[in-house]
Amino acid sequence: MKLTSANVGQTLGHLDAKVVPYDHPVNEQLVSLFGNHTFFLDQSGLKIVEPEESREDGVVTGRVIKVAKWADGTRTSLAPHDREVTEIIVPLEQAA
């Protein structure tokens, strides 16, 4: 899922990561591999946020999913792997 600026901020409050800018040349490759998402890079690799089912109290949340790991210690290339669901749940603002 592509996140709003506010939701990117919420996510960064739960992750020690950097956002891959939408206009970065690698973003097009990432979209072709993983779909239209906001991508986050951290020390372990590449992550995305996917929406969770709406809760009864109306709070909208997203789950952080790992989709690639660093291929080597230099952290210059990524190796895609099967989606790995994390325990990180992020509260999200509903899109206006």
Spell out the per-residue pLDDT of the chain, length 96, in tens: 999 999 999 999 999 999 999 999 999 999 999 999 999 999 999 999 999 877 777 778 999 999 999 998 899 899 999 999 999 999 988 654
HEC-encoded secondary structure of the chain: CCCCHHHHHHHHCCCCCEECCCCCHHHHHHHHHHCCCCCEEECCEEEEEEECCCCCCCCEEEEEEEEEEECCCCCCCEEEEEEEEEEEEEEECCCC
Q: What is the pLDDT of residues 19-35, one digit of tens each?
A: 999 999 999 999 999 99
d(CA 18, CA 88): 16
